[in-house]
Amino acid sequence: MSQLQKSIFIIFIILLIDQVFKIYIKTHFYYGETVHIFGLEWARLQFVENNGMAWGTEFGGRTGKLFLTTFRLLAIVGIGYWLQSSIKKNAPKKLLFAIALIFAGALGNIIDSVFYGLIFDTPGGHQIATLFAEDNYGTLFHGKVVDMFYFPMINNGVFPSWIPFVGDQTFTFFNAIFNVADFAISCGVGILIVFNKTVFPKEEITATE
């Protein structure tokens, strides 16, 4: 199997897992519903949606949402070119794997942003959303990204009183709710940071007389 085929396979598998989770959560959970994984307090599936960037970050309302989706589409083209160029240059396998993860994660959230507003409704209360609903909730490029993984490992922790500004205040760690696509992007970026010297080897400069 060529490096291109391996990269496509990685991207396909991540996209498949990401979309299966999102569609399942969207069509089986009411908004805000929480289920504890294996009964653990700190491991949960919790259905939320966001209009913004990874890890639930918001960005500028409806106009910001359109700008962000357009930016994502342009970014995915750039990442795809980076992956193709790296394959042609026989780049290190760690680099190709990292780029494939980032590409798959970005594309996974783009699918939500571009299409979910057209194929889902958003009922209120404890009702469940319908796939391919006639009364869709949005328009092209204005879909909401589905998040579901929540791991509040430390809940209602308290900062020591000697810490300036936040002393004695409560906190939750880890407080972000994310999806498979977010995780793939984070893993890809993490590989680039941790294995920086391996994935971006410096070319040896030979002295010439």
The residues annotated with a catalytic role in the active site are 147, 182
Instruction: Measure the CA–CA gap between 133 and 140, rounded to whole angstroms.
Output: 15
Q: Are 83 and 97 in contact (CB under 8 A)?
A: no
Kindly state the tokens that stand for 69: 């989706």
Tell me the helix, strand and coil percentages in the chain, rounded to 5. 50, 15, 35
- Cα dist from 100 to 8, 105, 186, 194, whole Å: 8, 8, 12, 17
Q: Is 48 exposed, middle or buried (0-12, 13-18, 19+ CB in 10 A)?
A: buried
Spell out a b/e string for 112-138, using b for 16 or more CB atoms within 10 Å of the CB, else e: bbbebbbbbbbeeeeeebbeeeeebbb
CB neighbours (10 Å) of residue 103?
Answer: 26
